[in-house]
Amino acid sequence: MKKLLPAVVIACLLLAGCAGTPRMSVGESCTFLQGDTFKPTGNQQQQADQIAKHYQEVADKVAQELADPIQKMADVMKQVAGTSLGDKSAEQLDELKKQNNRIGEVCK
């Protein structure tokens, strides 16, 4: 059994990020999000790609309660960036709004 423990610890470190960067608390996350001044540049497709990457970076830092909706927003923006013009569909706009509202509920 003693030999199994190191394997479990290594798996945890590699797969779950047990030793990864600690996440912010909910309060710290909300303060961080309120002060976020990220501004994308370029055409709509370039902006969508930049926003997707920014959302991904933010999702990796903030509290899990906020990371989940931000990750979903990053996923939507990756889809938008993959279109020829970088336009959001009505469904994508609805999903972004829904996730933004979830963030607002946590940070009220």
> Average pLDDT in the 21-27 region?
89
pLDDT tens per residue, range 27-59 = 999 999 999 999 999 999 999 999 999 999 999
How would you class 53 by CB atoms within 10 Å of its CB: exposed for 0-12, middle for 13-18, buried for 19 or more? middle
> Average pLDDT in the 68-84 region?
95
pTM as predicted: 0.78
DSSP state of 103: H
